[in-house]
Amino acid sequence: MSTSVAPLEMVDTDRYPLTDPDGPAWREVVRRTRAELAGAGCSVLADFVRPELREVLRAECAALEPHAYTKVERVNAYNTAIDEPLPEDHPGRTILERGNAFVARDRVPPSAIIARLYTSPVFRRFVADCFGLPELHELADPLSGLTLNVIAPGRAHPWHFDTNEFTVSMLTQAADGGGTFEYCPNIRSATDENFAAVRSVLAGDTGPVRRLDLRPGDLQLFKGRFALHRVSTVEGAIARHSAIFAYSERPGVIGSAERTRQLFGRVLPAHLAGRSVRGDELLD
Q: Residue 197: inside a domain, yes or no? A: yes
Query: What stretches in the chain show pLDDT beneath 50?
Result: 1-3, 276-284
Count of C-beta atoms within a 10 Å radius of residue 231:
24
Contact yes or no for 134/209 (Cβ under 8 A): no
Q: Of all helices (H) and strands (E), which one includes residue 201? A: helix 195-202
Number of domains in the chain: 1
Q: Residue 281 has what pLDDT? A: 35
Structure confidence at residue 275 (pLDDT): 52
Residue 280 maps to a domain? no
Per the domain annotation, does 59 fall within a domain?
Answer: yes
Report the candidate in 15, 10, 35, 282 with the shortest Cα–Cα distance to residue 165: 282
pTM attached to this predicted model:
0.89
> Is 5 a domain residue?
no
Which residues partner with 265 through β-bridges?
none
Query: Is the separation of the CB atoms in 187 and 197 below 8 Å?
Result: yes
Residue at 141 is within a domain = yes
Amino acid present at 194: N
DSSP reduced 3-state for 97: strand
Residue 8 lies inside a defined structural domain of this protein: no
Q: Note down the domain range covering 56.
A: 24-271
CATH of the domain at 239: 2.60.120.620
Q: Does residue 281 fall inside a structural domain? A: no
The reported pLDDT for the residue numbered 272 is 85
Is residue 4 in some structural domain? Answer: no
Identify the burial level of 122 via C-beta atoms within 10 angstroms of its C-beta, where 0-12 means exposed, 13-18 middle and 19 or more buried: middle
Q: What is the pLDDT of residues 195-222, one digit of tens each?
A: 999 999 999 999 999 999 899 999 999 9
